[in-house]
Amino acid sequence: MWGEADLQVADSRAYPMIGVQTASNRRTYDAPLEAAVRRFQRRHLLQEDGVVGEQTRLALNTSVASRIDQLRVNLERARWISPMQSAEPRVWVDIAGYRMHYVRPNGQHWDARVVVGTPRRETPIIHSTISHLTINPSWTIPPTIMREDVLPQVRADINYLARKNIQVISPMGEPLVAEEIDWQHPGGVMLRQVAGTGNPLGRVVVRFPNDDMIYLHDTARGLFQRDQRALSSGCIRVEGVAELAQMLLQDTGSRYQMSSLLKGEVIAM
């Protein structure tokens, strides 16, 4: 078991330049200091711009005791994950590192960048089994997003629903007339956005049973270039999700091809 002294030694080894960097003028933000800031940002998954903004300043001011607590928490998380890694194949998401990993039945490893939930709407830790794929999905808007994001828009302008191709349905899936709903007190109505270019799930969704309505899916491709990618409402957006889906089909013995499915073509099985 690691003690505090061990963690402090590990921290000093991880940051070998701490305590030895000097500057001829401590009031000058020169090139060596900017390079040190960029290294710090890269190590902490911050935007590597060399600017000491709010997030960088918060990270710099984090105490050694807090870093030790973070290490303890992550060591415990690693202990939880260890039994899951004994069975293959497996898909797992490193939420803090913004990466998804897939170990295939043949032992091949595949990984991709992901976008995960914001601190306000965190991606939960889930252990489940992938059950199926959905091509060109509709999106049933989760309760939190409906309450906090969509309803204020609908109350301000009922035409918001039509512009976003959102259908109003009952809990049984029956269509309802939007103009007949009291949007101040909508009750148990549900909102479903039809498939299309504006659908936030994109064209491919990898689904697995869970109570949080969390999936692996497409879209938001411009966000994958960012260093910090805690930007979603909880779901996990996967760069190259169609490639992942094709591997899952292949590895489970399916003859379907993603290229044909995305074009709406059906093959004889």
Whether residue 48 is found in the same domain as residue 34: yes
Active-site pick, 109, 127, 185, 235: 235
Q: Which are the contacts of 229, defined by CB distance < 8 A and separation ≥ 6? A: 98, 113, 114, 115, 116, 223
How is residue 233 written in tokens? 């409402």
What are phi and psi for residue 193, nearest 5 degrees? -90, 130
Task: Specify the length of the chain in residues.
Answer: 269
Query: Is 45 domain-assigned?
Result: yes
**pLDDT tens figures, 18-42:** 444 554 556 788 888 999 999 999 8
Same domain, 119 and 204: yes
Q: Are residues 39 and 151 in the same domain?
A: no
> How many independent structural domains does the chain possess?
3
Q: What is the CATH number of the domain that holds 250?
A: 2.40.440.10
Residues 199-236: tens digit of each pLDDT: 889 999 999 999 888 999 988 778 898 888 999 989 99
* Residue 122 sits in the same domain as residue 223: yes
Residues 131 and 169 in one domain: no
Pair 91, 112: CB distance under 8 Å: no
Structure tokens, 51: 């600017």
189 and 210 co-located in one domain: no
The residue annotated as part of the active site, out of 44, 101, 109, 217, is 217
75 assigned to some structural domain: no
Say what the pLDDT of residue 86 is. Answer: 57
Residue 85: pLDDT over 70 = no
Question: Which tokens go with 74?
Answer: 């992550």
Average pLDDT over residues 77-95: 74
pLDDT for residue 27: 73
Q: Is 101 a catalytic residue?
A: no
Q: Are 253 and 126 in contact (CB under 8 A)?
A: no
Number of Cβ within a 10 Å radius of residue 171: 9
**What does residue 106 show for φ and ψ, rounded to 5 degrees?**
-85, 5
Domain that holds residue 15: 4-68
Does 152 share its domain with 126? Answer: no
Regarding whether 205 and 184 lie in a shared domain, the answer is: no
For the chain, the average pLDDT equals 85
Predicted confidence (pLDDT) per residue in 124-176, tens digit: 988 899 999 999 999 999 998 999 999 999 999 999 999 999 999 999 889 99
Residues 132, 219, single domain; the answer is: yes
* Residue 4 pLDDT level (bands cut at 50, 70, 90): very low
Instruction: Tokens for 79, please give them.
Output: 């202990």
Q: Are residues 122 and 145 in the same domain?
A: no
